[in-house]
Chains A and B, each alone.
Chain A
Amino acid sequence: EAQVTQNPRYLITVTGKKLTVTCSQNMNHEYMSWYRQDPGLGLRQIYYSMNVEVTDKGDVPEGYKVSRKEKRNFPLILESPSPNQTSLYFCASSLYGVGEETQYFGPGTRLLVL
């Protein structure tokens, strides 16, 4: 089954404790992206990647890191989480980019930073 998976689905952590949210797709997509969803703000892009070893900032990259060492994986790293990073996070992928293409979203990771 073609899908985007994220782990963990739910995470409670404390300020300053490094964490990684994994994202993996099995559709051989070149483009992958991370969004955060906050009430009243909709979805905002954090980082995106056009291909292996190619990443770029979205609208809200502060406090986040990403890497793209393999085509299928695009982990999101919070090196020192803060309470304002409490949010619902979605990974998305598509074949080549945004343009006219359908984005495939993962199920989401709900993060609470205390």
Chain B
Amino acid sequence: GDSVTQMEGPVTLSEEACLTINCTYTATGYPSLFWYVQYPGEGLQLLLKATKADDKGSNKGFEATYRKETTSFHLEKGSVQVSDSAVYFCALSPTQGGSEKLVFGKGMKLTVNP
């Protein structure tokens, strides 16, 4: 079935460090891909998304490119801030089988220290 595999961490970085969170997926067809972020004590919110191959999603300095050839959607940021401390989830939306759910990775907790 459809699945998402992502780095689980936890990861601790210093402010202004570079961040890459790897995400790969297994799916039939051409799913839409998402990164959701969960700040402490809050629900998930969409960070960015890409709906077809080679699309690049971007928001708040974060970027991810939909790579069909490597079935990947890695999240990157060039310079992290303390306010980026959160749990990051990679997710996909299946396109076949009549499923109406997001398939999530297990999440990665990021802590950014000043």
Tally A residues with Cβ within 8 Å of B.
27
Q: Given A99-B32, A100-B51, are A42 and B106 also a contact pair (CB < 8 Å)?
A: yes
User: Is B71 in the interface zone, CB < 8 Å from A?
Assistant: no
Contacts of B41 in A (CB 8 A): 107
Cβ of A98 under 8 Å from chain B: yes
Binary interface profile of A, 63-78, with partner B (CB < 8 Å = 1, else 0)?
Answer: 0000000000000000
Report chain B residues within 8 Å CB of A81: none
Known: A42-B89, A99-B32. A107 touches B102 (CB 8 A): no
Chain A residues with a Cβ under 8 A of chain B:
4, 31, 33, 40-45, 48, 50, 56, 58-59, 90, 92, 97-100, 102-108
Additional A-B contact list (11), CB under 8 Å, known A31-B100, A42-B104: A33-B100, A43-B107, A44-B104, A48-B100, A50-B100, A58-B101, A98-B100, A98-B101, A102-B46, A103-B36, A107-B42
